Amino acid sequence: MSRIAAVREALAQFPRVEASHAPTPVEALPRLGAAYGLDLWVKRDDCTGIAFGGNKVRQLEFYIGAAQAKGADTLLITSAVQSNFMRTAAAMGRRYGMDCHVQLEDRVPDTSALYQSNGNVLLDKLFGATFHSYPEGEDEAGADASVAAIAEGLKAEGKTPYVIPLGADSAPTGALGYVAAALELVEADLPPFDDIIVSSGSALTHAGLLLGLRALGDTTPVYGICVRRDAVAQSARVAKRTADVAALMGLDVQVPSTDVRLFDGVLAPGYGQLNNAILFAIKQTAQLEGLLLDPVYTGKAMAGALALAKAKSLAGRRVLFWHTGGTPALFAYADQLV
C-alpha cells in the first residue's frame, strides 16, 4: 500500500463532515518575499469558507463528525475571548443543526471594551451562541472541568452535548484536519518547499501537519512560531500531540525530536498581545501584498518568519507560510493597529 493510500485509509476511520472550501489556494507573495530574500508563498487556509474561514474549519470537520456520530445536539467549547475556534464552532454548529455554548477565558490582560465586544465576540453573538465565562487564562484543566460541569447541566435538561476539549491530555481529534491538509499539499504536486511556517498554539494544527507530512514521506522542515508558550514548553506539547495523533490513527510513524522546530523570538509580551514586530508584519503584509493577517496568530507567525529571514535562517529559500485565518480579530484590536 502506498503512503498516500495508508494515510487515506487511516483518516477514513473517523466520522467527518466535508465542509471546507478545500483545496485552498497556494499563492506567491513576491513583493514581501523580495524584501527579505525569500521565494515566499502562502497557503490560504483563511479561505476555508465558513464564517471567515481559518484552520479551525478543517479541525471542526472531524469534531462535528464525531458529535453527529454520538447524536449530539449541542457543542461546548472553551477558549480565549477572541477565539477563532469558538467563532467557527458556533457557525458550524448552526450549519449542522446544533446549539453552541462558548466559555470565554480571560487570557489577555487589560483588554478594552472593543476587545470584549467586537471581532469574534460579535460573530459569536450573531450565531446565537450561549456565553459562559472562566476567570483564569492559563488553567486548561480548570477550564475543561468547568465545561464538563456545563455539559452535565445540559444533560439534566435533556440535551445531548459534545465537548470540544482544550487540554493536551484529550484525544487530538482536530489534528486529523491537518493530516488531511498535509495530504492535500502533497497531492497538489507543487515544486518542493524548503520550509513551512505555521503558528503554534494548541499544537493541533502544527502536530497534525507535521505528522501528516512525515507519514507521507515528506521531510520538509516545519517551523512553529510560538503564540502562547515559550519554545521549551511548546516543543514538549508539539512532540506529545504528534505522538498522540499517530497513536489515534494507528500509524507507525515516529517524528524525531529534531523535527519539532519552534521559534519564540516574537512571543513577548504574551498571548494575544501586540509588539512592534507583529504590528510591522501585519502592516507590511497588507501594504505589499494586500493580504490580511490577525494580531494573535498569523501576524505573530509572519513576524517570526521575517525574524528568521533577517537572521539568515531562511535566506534564499522557498518558503510556504501557512495562513491559518483569524481575520475577524483585527476589528477587536482596531484601537491598537492604527
Task: For residues 122 and 114, give the distance between their C-alpha atoms in angstroms, rounded to a whole number.
Answer: 10
**Residue 119 · residue 329 · CB < 8 Å:** yes
Task: For residues 120 and 304, give the distance between their C-alpha atoms in angstroms, rounded to a whole number.
Answer: 24
**Residue 161 · residue 169 · CB < 8 Å:** no
Task: For residues 61 and 53, give the distance between their C-alpha atoms in angstroms, rounded to a whole number.
Answer: 12
- In the block, residue with C-alpha cell 515544486: 191
Query: What burial letters (b/e) apply to 238-275, b meaning 16+ CB within 10 Å?
Result: bbbbbbbbbebbebebebeeebbbbbbebbeeebbbbb
Q: Give the three-state DSSP class for 280.
A: helix
All three cell numbers of 265, joined, read 523570538
Task: For residues 294 and 333, give the distance between their C-alpha atoms in angstroms, rounded to a whole number.
Answer: 9
All three cell numbers of 22, joined, read 478545500
- Strand 161-164 and strand 318-323: pairing? unpaired
Q: Is 20 a catalytic residue?
A: no
Complete DSSP assignment for 287-322: HHH-----TTTHHHHHHHHHHHHHTTSSTT-EEEEE
Instruction: Using alpha carbons, select from 96, 101, 114, 87 the residue that is nearest to residue 19.
Output: 96
Catalytic residue among 20, 79, 83, 146: 83
Residues annotated as part of the active site:
83
